[in-house]
Structure 1
Amino acid sequence: MAAAAAAFMSGEELVVTLAPVVVYWVYAGMYEVVLARTTVLDRYRLHSRREEETKNIASRKDVVRGVLLQQAIQAAISVAVIKLEGHGGGGTDGPAEPFLVVAARFGVAMLVLDAWQYFMHRLMHSVPYLYRRFHSWHHRVAAPYAYAAQYGHPVDGVLTEVLSGAAAYLASGMPPRAAAAFFAFATVKGVDDHCGVAAPWNPLHALFRNNTAYHDVHHQRGGGRRNFSQPFFVVWDRLLGTHAPYALRQRDGGQGLEVKAFKDRQVVH
């Protein structure tokens, strides 16, 4: 069995397929452990544990099952894309590319991933049938937390997440090793955007305007027509008039933070 698997996929291809799954659960698990066992992040929480229990329709067991199903589909499609693209047959990446070439491929992949996800995400909200039948699953988690990042209907997951990753991979021309690093990074970013913790010292919040507070606006009641961009930039929201600025405010009693969205474009965070 192991020999057959090795003949079907190289080590690099296995890493591309499995790295995002492993990174997802490890990174989300770190948030869960810290939030459950310490108070270090409590002052930066956007939603209390009580709010997660009362606002969210999907149970945590439903979320785990939904994410695992999504990741199984993602892995299967990843294998198919790798084989069709031509990296199959147990080969290797070959000589390492110069850093600037790798950086350019990362940039292309980020832009393609963002563009695909923005327009598909917006379409899911714009067509009532698509929202009710598919995308509403993701919004059953109104108070997001880390390992709910990839929770949703499988059809929505394929159209928005999996196909955007395939398009980014093919458009950028990344070899498997670079693709593994890119998708691991994109997974960390997606988990971070749903973690419900807006810590000011988080480097991802410093690097990207699209962060957990920005995405929390989208999950708020009435926020379904704003802040569609994910996971890296906010350029499409700004260009197409769906950007909602916001402010972070300390809750009364110092129990975490509150995200206040504005319609006025002059008010920025």
Structure 2
Amino acid sequence: MESIIFDRRMTNSSSNLTPTVMPFPVSDELLGTFVPIAVYWIYSGIYVMLGDLNQYRLHTKAEEDKKNVVSKRTVVKGVLIQQAFQIAVSLLLFTFMSGDSGVVLLQPSLPVIVLQFMVAMVVMDTWQYFMHRFMHINKFLYKHIHSKHHTLVVPYAFGALYNHPLEGLILDTIGGALSFLISGMTPRTAIFFFSFATIKTVDDHCGLWLPGNLLHVFFNNNSAYHDIHHQLYGTKYNFSQPFFITWDKILGTHMPFSLEKRKEGGFEARPIKKIN
């Protein structure tokens, strides 16, 4: 952002107004807080503008209306509340952690940034797998916290972050902080990492199997994989999020599926192992 002020310079004949540009930079920390939120609504908004896309849906519109027990208005309100809570926590952390030196960290080389991305992805996946699974195992936590997210049996894009604020703090805010600190990335790199993580999370909850989706090409943890977890029979499986399926495979909670075409149009993700 820039502000223009004018210096008055006197000459023998007249006075001139000369524009001087005064920069008001926005810190990378603030951008890392607000850009992913903007990305969330822009990316999920694209899915809304695309319409129902019945030929690519993992559930029919009738199933969405019947199985989900909260209105979309309530979901939007819930996501905004969580994001406001997330902003408050982030700003509080920045207040205590920011130094007075004003030194801007230099960006490392591209190979180092790629390595930091990979480390951050592994850290986030590990944290979210075990916290997510624990919220299912612990009956109190599931009933009073995590069940809110599972009121969307048929997930859709802008419901990706429809969680209890405490769940958002534990899974997303703390998980993100650990990813940032352990990977050693700069705040500028973090803007891109958290924006990418946001896109991935929205895509995993979009309820669609779109052709040519590059996230489905590069990640086995995708909308169909996570849809299995959201079904009433699937809450013991596919806890991994948002990137890889490694921990599910290592710890025996992986539920493979087949993607079948429905007669009514669209697709259905069907488990190919016996449900316990």
Q: Assess same fold via TM > 0.5.
A: yes
Structure 1 residue 95 displacement after superposition: 2.6
Per mean C-alpha deviation after superposition, the further-off stretch among 50-59 and 210-219 is: 50-59
Matching of residue 42 in structure 1 with residue 42 in structure 2: no
Equivalent residue in structure 2 for 1:144, among 142, 151, 155: 155
User: Counting helix residues as a fraction of each chain, which structure ranks higher?
Assistant: 1
User: Counting strand residues as a fraction of each chain, which structure ranks higher?
Assistant: 2
CA gap 1:81/1:105 in 2 versus in 1, 3 angstroms: farther
Q: Which secondary structure state, in structure 1, belongs to the residue aligned with residue 259 of structure 2?
A: strand
Q: Which secondary structure state, in structure 1, belongs to the residue aligned with residue 51 of structure 2?
A: helix
Structure 1 residue 94 displacement after superposition: 3.2
How many residues align? The count is 254
Distance in 2, Cα, partners of 1:208 & 1:249: 19
Distance in 1, Cα, partners of 2:167 & 2:246: 22
1:63 is matched with 75
1:238 is matched with 249
Q: What letter corresponds to residue 39 of structure 2 in structure 1?
A: V
Q: What letter corresponds to residue 257 of structure 1 in structure 2?
A: F
Distance in 2, Cα, partners of 1:227 & 1:22: 28
Give the superposed CA RMSD: 2.1
Per mean C-alpha deviation after superposition, the further-off stretch among 24-33 and 76-85 is: 76-85
Equivalent residue in structure 2 for 1:14, among 30, 48, 52: 30
Structure 1 residue 92 displacement after superposition: 5.6
Q: TM-score, normalised by structure 1?
A: 0.89
Structure 1 residue 81 displacement after superposition: 3.4
**Contact persistence 1:44–1:197 (CA under 8 A):** yes
Question: What does 1:88-237 align with in structure 2 at a 5 Å threshold?
Answer: 88-89=99-100, 91=102, 93-237=104-248
Structure 1 residue 235 displacement after superposition: 0.2
**Contact persistence 2:107–2:186 (CA under 8 A):** no
**Contact persistence 1:16–1:179 (CA under 8 A):** yes
Deviations 1:124-164 (A, max 9, x none): 00011110010000000000000000001111111112111
Distance in 1, Cα, partners of 2:147 & 2:104: 40
Structure 1 residue 262 displacement after superposition: 2.1
CA gap 1:90/1:202 in 2 versus in 1, 3 angstroms: farther
Deviations 1:167-190 (A, max 9, x none): 111111211110000000000000
Identity %: 47
**Contact persistence 2:259–2:268 (CA under 8 A):** yes
Q: Unmatched 5+ residue regions in structure 1?
A: 4-8
Distance in 2, Cα, partners of 1:116 & 1:98: 27
Q: Which secondary structure state, in structure 2, belongs to the residue aligned with residue 247 of structure 1?
A: strand
CA gap 1:44/1:92 in 2 versus in 1, 3 angstroms: farther
CA gap 1:213/1:93 in 2 versus in 1, 3 angstroms: farther
